[in-house]
Chains A and B, each alone.
Chain A
Amino acid sequence: MLKTSCLNIPFANPLVLASGILGVTAASMHKIIRDGAGGVTVKSISKAPRTGHPNPTMMGNDTYFLNAVGLSNPGIENGIAELIQFKKICPAPLIGSIFAGTADEFAELAELIAVAPIDILELDLSCPNVGREFGEPFAYSASAIGRITRETKAKVKVPISIKLSPNAWNIAELAKMAEAAGADAITAVNTVSGMAIDVRARRPILHNKQGGVSGPALFPIALKCVYDIYEAVKIPIIGTGGVMTGEDALKMIMAGATLVGVGSAVYYRGADVFGKIVAEMTEIMKQENIGSLDEIRGVAHGIM
């Protein structure tokens, strides 16, 4: 009932692990598949290893999760080894994820990671937490999105998904730009910029001061982004942001998502949240006589 095809890749269900939550190692991604996800996204990889920001890099409360990890990762060489290892032990779809400081470097890194057995390559243009190092996220600029997409597409055959930021007021326009430049899919959204302050410490809690908000508070924002993007483009959308329950996942699909990214829900409901969401979706679909997700994809559009 939940079987989904995205870019001709079969997914047992539409839930994919979002980049940066668990997913550093092959073993951890394999565990997420055993816990019920249809596919996984690796934590974003850069050319050289990075240790990220000092702690605290994340915190959570009932309504939101906030992080500024600073894109720590073991670098492309170690990263590829984990991706190869994952496919050795698990046949489920694997989404690679990379980030870089320039369009040239994105293309170069894409070429390197394309030797790994990834099914889709996500370009993280939208991390809000490394501003001091990389400047404004590329995901705020139509010209940067166009250039990075074109240069990367020219170098690799694997389908690419452009990951966009909900901080951009014109996210649907930007998605359209990515599509025109050759993107095969859109991942929407990354975290929205935010901050937390500790009154007794009299300072921001995150070492990086500002961070990215995810979890329940992000859901209505992400849902609207996916809805708007669906009206603007024909390519599939990986709808991500604040999905906690089967009900949320179905809302994302009704807004137009093909796949549904799940990250912070691991914090709220445990690592086995994927299986829980699958069970909840199945239950609601039975109650509502929904036979397949194709039946309801984008159904919330075109209503008077």
Chain B
Amino acid sequence: MHIPQMLSIKKITDENPFVKTFWFNYNLNSQPGQFVMLWIPGIDQKPFSIAYDDSAEFGLTIFAVGSLSKKLFELRVGDRVGISGPYGTAFSIQNDTHYITVAGGYGAGPLGLLTERLAATTNSTVDFCVGARSADLLLFKDRMAKLPHTTVQVATNDGSAGHTGFITDILSGLIQKSHGKKIILATCGPELMEKKVLDCANKNNVDCEVSIERFMKCGFGVCGQCCVDPLGLRMCMEGPVVNRATANSISEFGNYHRDKSGAKIYY
């Protein structure tokens, strides 16, 4: 659906003091990694990754950062917002594989959904890696800990849980441990973190799937705002999830992105 459909918020849950999940009763029929456009009439409309989708309901896990997301945090159960989508590419779901998912920020949403689907429909194993500044901000630790064939790996900057430092510090170790198995690194989060994951995949020569976010106006391949250099691929259509070869071909990845006007902003 390319026209927003007005859906009522069915429930709002706190994931941590700054992050909420907004739930809707609707069969979105999405794949992990895809996103929807969320419209608050009179305010704006922006892309949000799908963090939960069990065919009966779906959930969007959102950080309050600016105009649209802060307004959303003021809404209550029963209020309606416009949803269109799902849009974009998804992470692959394969058997006989060891996935190492690497999440930062709201990237834990789509990777959480991926891990749930892997646990439910494949024989693959998962290291669900998540980092945050401190233990109270870690997302989906408990949601993931319940799943079969899944190990939660944690890093915090202040050392209040798991490894002290960046989550990317522990990747090489996890790859070594799974030696001999087919490995896929899947990552979604801040771009400089994702770049480290891609570099690690290249160094160890293992598969990698990266969710690359760019400013999106339409979400369905017309506005051109999310095209990346040098191949002009649209991150709302040919992305956001791209494989290792494609990610390696995107010269702006980890380097710069474009703002709402189209001007380059360097990381």
Is B222 an interface residue, CB under 8 A from the partner? yes
| Besides A31-B233, A57-B218, A61-B3, 17 new A-B residue pairs in contact (Cβ under 8 A), listed by A number | A21-B224, A22-B224, A22-B227, A25-B232, A27-B230, A31-B227, A43-B224, A43-B262, A55-B45, A55-B217, A56-B45, A58-B223, A73-B261, A75-B263, A78-B264, A198-B41, A203-B42
Is the Cβ of A74 less than 8 Å from the Cβ of B263? yes
Knowing A58-B222, A59-B3, A201-B80, say if A73 contacts B262 (CB, 8 Å). Answer: yes
| A window 21-39: CB within 8 A of B | 21-32
Other-chain residue from A49, A54, A58 in contact with B43 (beta carbon distance below 8 A): A54
Which size bracket describes the interface of B in this complex? 35 or more
Contacts of A60 in B (CB 8 A): 2-3, 220, 222
Is the Cβ of B217 less than 8 Å from the Cβ of A51? no
Which size bracket describes the interface of A in this complex? 35 or more
Is A194 an interface residue, CB under 8 A from the partner? no
Majority secondary structure, A binding face: loop
Please give the residue numbers on chain B whose beta carbons come within 8 Å of chain A beta carbons, in ascending order: 2-4, 6, 37, 39, 41-46, 80, 82, 217-218, 220-225, 227-234, 237, 258-264
The CA-CA distance from A200 to B228 in the complex, in Å, is 36
Question: Between A and B, how many residue pairs show CB distances below 8 Å?
Answer: 133
A203 to chain B, nearest CB (A): 6
The CA-CA distance from A69 to B222 in the complex, in Å, is 11
Residue of A nearest to B263 (CB): A74
Is A155 an interface residue, CB under 8 A from the partner? no
Is A72 an interface residue, CB under 8 A from the partner? yes
Is the Cβ of B232 less than 8 Å from the Cβ of A28? yes
Please give the residue numbers on chain A whose beta carbons come within 8 Å of chain B beta carbons, in ascending order: 21-32, 43, 49-52, 54-61, 65, 69, 72-75, 78, 89, 196, 198, 200-201, 203, 205, 207, 264, 266-267, 270-271
The CA-CA distance from A73 to B37 in the complex, in Å, is 22
Is the Cβ of B224 less than 8 Å from the Cβ of A52? no
Is the Cβ of A72 less than 8 Å from the Cβ of B224? no
Knowing A24-B262, A58-B218, A72-B262, say if A207 contacts B44 (CB, 8 Å). Answer: yes
The CA-CA distance from A203 to B40 in the complex, in Å, is 12
